[in-house]
Amino acid sequence: MLRLTQFLKQYNTDTELVELINLMMSACKEVNAKLHDGALAGVLGETEQENVQGETQKKLDVLANDLLKHDLDECHLVRGLASEEEDLPVACNPDGRFLVAFDPLDGSSNIDINVTVGTIFSILEAPADCHGDEEEAFLQPGDKQVAAGYVLYGPSCILAITTGKGVHMFTLGHNGEFYLTRENVRVPETTKEFAINMSNQRFWEAPVQRYIADLLQGEEGPRGKRYNMRWIASMVAEVHRILTRGGVFMYPWDNREPHKPGKLRLMYEGNPMSMLIEQAGGRSINTRQRIMEVQPTQIHQRVSVVLGSREEVDVVQRYHEEADAN
Ligand code: P6P
């Protein structure tokens, strides 16, 4: 079985990028170990703190953030980092080549119920003249990412990564090595499975209501087939399912907080997941345009997300175009 470093080198991956990826995996392996200790390590439950998103931080949110922040700050290749758990970007090394944006523990509301969570990361080139802590240095469209991926802490610990040459998956062995377990992952063009939080149905825009109503009509409806639904409340697990067997994942804008474009964050959820999905032949839009074309204006800005099997994302986009034309 090919190890992560061997595989990346076989794909002629930039050697400094390989070094950075390996460093991040070291931190993620520590997170994985803490998660698997769970209650035995006294890491479950909440802290007294709130993050910049106004969400109460889980102990493991803070622990995962601190582990990644420490290791990235130590790495000569990293100019700066931005985290869901940090109000502002953090300058690391003035000669560093890369910027790293990450969600240290996505889906953390699932930790205490022992359901899959994950780390999501996005790697950008640092602009020549930046110090690494300027928000504007990070505000690059998703198409500028040099690499993106996630580490899934589930029944097994799996890394899914792309450096722009397809999507590949690696499983963590007992010896602490990540081994190639899937090469050139492809998202099936069609699906019968959708993922959305149906409890928000009454708050959605009309085109989303129309699209989901079509799916729920099954064989008798306009799509002519029966759909199944999944909702894990952990984007990283939903995206992994879609990369594994297809599907469509949606967290669209809704009128509960109309001033926010969506719930999910662009820089360290929307963009990295979009790079993975597009590299695997799927599509990822904010209902009207590719997510990776969006010009960021704030490090923690949110985005509406519709991603997965091409056929379904195309229908969602068409319904929005028809609604906008009226
Ligand atoms: P809801 C987790 O908090 C997250 O950011 C994503 O991982 C997940 O898809 C979504 O929010 C779940 O949101 O509103 O269903 O709890």
In order of their start, the domains of the chain are 4-182 (3.30.540.10), 193-325 (3.40.190.80)
Pocket of ligand 1 contains residue 119 by CB under 6 Å: no
Spatial contact of 138 and 299, defined as CB atoms under 8 Å apart: yes
Atom of ligand 1 nearest to the CA of 231: 15
Which segments in the chain show pLDDT lower than 70?
none
Atom of ligand 1 nearest to the CA of 199: 15
Query: 3: which residues sit within 8 A by CB, 6+ positions away?
Result: 177, 178, 179, 180
Pocket of ligand 1 contains residue 109 by CB under 6 Å: yes
Residue 43 confidence (pLDDT): 76
- Among 102, 200, 234, which is best to mutate for testing ligand 1, by the most ligand atoms less than 8 A from CB? 234
pLDDT tens digits, 53-109: 777 777 889 999 999 999 999 999 999 999 999 999 999 999 999 999 999 999 988
pTM of the model: 0.97
Pocket of ligand 1 contains residue 235 by CB under 6 Å: yes
pLDDT tens digits, 176-198: 999 999 999 999 999 999 999 99
Q: How far is CA 309 from the centre of its chain?
A: 16
Q: Residue 113 has which token pair? A: 């119920």
Q: Whose CA is nearest to atom 2 of ligand 1?
A: 107
Cα–Cα dist 279/186, whole Å: 8
Percentage above 90 pLDDT, the chain: 91
Between the CA of 251 and the centroid of ligand 1 the distance, in Å, is: 8
